[in-house]
Amino acid sequence: MTIICTVLCILIQVRRGILPRLLEEILTTRIMVKQAIKKLAPAEKVLQRIFNARQLALKLIANVTYGYTAAGFSGRMPCAELADSIVQCGRSTLEKAISFVNQHEKWNARVIYGDTDSMFVLLKGRTLKESFQIGNEIASAISAMNPNPVSLKMEKVYHPCFLLTKKRYVGYSYESPHQMEPVFDAKGIETVRRDTCGAVAKILEKSLRLFFQQKDLLEVKTYLQRQWKRILSGKFCFKDFIFAKEVRLGTYRSRMSSLPPAAIVATKAMTVDRRAEPRYAERIPYVVIHGEPGARLVDMVVDPLEVLAIDSPYRINDLYYINKQITPALQRVFGLVAADLNHWFSEMPRPTREASAKHKLTSNSHRTRIDYYYLSKHCVLCGRLAQASAHLCNQCSENEVAAATAVISKTSKLEQAMQHLVSICHHCGGGDRLLESGVKCTSISCLVFFERRKVQKELLAATHVAADKDLYPRCRVEWF
């Protein structure tokens, strides 16, 4: 009796450590936040983003515990034994769960992916309801095999789904057997990454949704060829072609050619104004333009505002975005179903692009190519080819009354659109009326800014025609 009492006293005096209690509270709080997200209404987008950011922050804090205990050189409280036990326990638990599922004959399931603390189980020929039933059975069996508090949770059913590489997958997810509409869920691919441009993310997501819904590669091919034609024709949103990558000046080599594109744009801005030096890890926007034949990427990157200038001679390098950004991202996904994106693009008929400005070289501006002198112009009304010194084609010039009416009508509509956009910008910036200096906002994250620049260029071309024909007075100079 004395021995038993002594043992009980010793057990009562054992207390839980700080680290287990900390991790348990963090994980419990994250589960609570994720449950609160599911209870929010679809219209509460702001709260959804806030709660999602909080649960991601809690996940990051829990994940860095391993790094905190394993940091033997720079850490303040290193404990290699604890870090090794974290890795070993996680690996052994996952391996046991994978072998148990693969050897179980009742479920007829196969684990096709397992990483850190999760695994994907393939259930061929099963319905959504059967998949949830088998998934819950697997979760219960695995949880019973492991000591408390280790447990396996049935989270989602993906149907259909693409598994690309480690931590990169995308599919339609269902969180309950009664869910009618699936949720597009992507992890680690270009649709959710920030190191690419918006055109890649939008085209890839739309192509995936189209394939998941139609399950027909011909539909995806038709959509992609239609988008490629729009890009080659210049009919795209300029904002979708802007990159924004982190710059860490002081960590690169001294040679200009070895700098990444964003660092090159930041260095060029610093040569003009030393105060333009970016902060460490600040994201610098840039675009890729057309350059000389055989030009390197470092010679074709410029600031987006240089392309958006009213008298800018630059043009977006559409082939670079298609061949180097959009097509590789699509090929990584649809190559799993034997699709050849390069062949789709090569067999597509090329549209004719309306060239309206001369190209400007990026490296040696004093050198000019032959197309500098032989570039064609197009009519501002109908788009047909026009003489180099004329703004209207021969057919539009013959009927002066109809041309004058069309120019006046187009200029009037553009002035109204410009006035509306300017009023929006002044309302946003707190201005009352259009001043002589005009609108100085150059925020590349605002869609109104891009629309304003587009209308400005069209209005400037129309007013030149009106001034040459004495049809309409020139537009107010502050708009330009």
Distant-in-sequence, close-in-space partners of 222: CB < 8 Å, separation ≥ 6: none
Q: What is the pLDDT of residue 408?
A: 78
Q: Quick one: 22 and 87 in the same domain?
A: no
Instruction: State which residues of the chain have pLDDT below 70.
Output: 1-14, 254-257, 352-378, 380-381, 383-391, 429-439, 469-480
Do 388 and 469 lie in one domain? The reply is yes
Residue 175: inside a domain: yes
Q: Clarify whether residues 58 and 156 are in a common domain.
A: no
Torsion sign, CA atoms 274, 280, 281, 282 = negative
Q: Is 10 among the domain residues?
A: no
Same structural domain, 109 and 45: no
Task: Specify the pLDDT at position 89.
Answer: 87
Cα separation, 323 vs 455, whole angstroms: 30
Residues 6+ apart with CB under 8 A from 213: none
CA distance 5 to 454: 85
Alpha helices in 273-380 (DSSP H): 304-308, 318-320, 327-334, 341-346, 371-374
Domain count, the chain: 3
Q: What is the phi/psi pair of residue 229, to 5°?
A: -65, -40
* Residue numbers of the domain that contains 397: 376-479
Whether residues 49 and 139 fall in one domain? no
142: domain CATH number is 3.90.1600.10
Q: Is residue 295 assigned to a domain?
A: no
- C-alpha span between 322 and 200 (Å, rounded): 9
Residue 215 lies in a domain: no
> Do 43 and 95 fall into the same domain?
no
* 28 part of a folded domain: yes
Is position 57 within any domain? yes
CATH of the domain at 38: 1.10.287
Q: Are 220 and 210 in contact (CB under 8 A)?
A: yes
Give the position of tokens 């991601």: 56
Q: Based on the domain organization, do 94 and 66 belong to the same domain?
A: no
DSSP three-state, residue 313:
coil
CB-CB contact of 302 with 315 (8 Å): no
Contact 362, 368 (CB under 8 A): no
Residue 207 resides in a domain: no
C-alpha–C-alpha distance, residues 326 and 329, integer Å: 5
Is residue 432 a contact partner of residue 426, using CB atoms and an 8 Å limit? yes
Torsion, Cα 232 236 237 241, to 10 degrees, reads -20
Q: Closest Cα partner for 329 from 159, 199, 161?
A: 199
How far is the C-alpha of 385 from the C-alpha of 352, rounded, in Å?
Answer: 12
Please report, as a single letter, which amino acid is at residue 472: Y
Task: Yes or no: say if 141 and 127 are a contact pair by the CB < 8 Å rule.
Answer: no
Q: How many CA atoms lie within 13 A of 444 on its CB side?
A: 21
Read off the pTM.
0.80
Shared domain check, 169 and 104: yes
Sign of torsion over alpha carbons 164, 169, 171, 176: positive
Whole-number pLDDT of residue 291: 87
What sign does the CA torsion over 43, 46, 47, 48 have? positive
> In this predicted structure, what is the pLDDT of residue 412?
83
Shared-domain flag, residues 129 and 153: yes
Asked which of 188, 217, 243 is the last residue of a domain, the reply is: 188
Q: What are phi and psi of 117, to 5 degrees?
A: -135, 20
Task: Single out the residue in 57, 78, 99 at which a domain terminates.
Answer: 78
Q: At what angle do helices 18-39 and 45-70 cross, to 10 degrees?
A: 160
Question: pLDDT at position 378, please?
Answer: 65
The answer to whether position 269 is within a domain reads no
- End position of a domain, from candidates 128, 160, 188: 188
Domain match, 402 and 475 both: yes
**DSSP assignment of 170-215:** EEEEESSTT--S-EEEEESSTTT-SSS-HHHHHHHHHHHHHHHHH-
Q: Indicate if 145 and 91 belong to the same structural domain.
A: yes
Same-domain status, 95 and 183:
yes
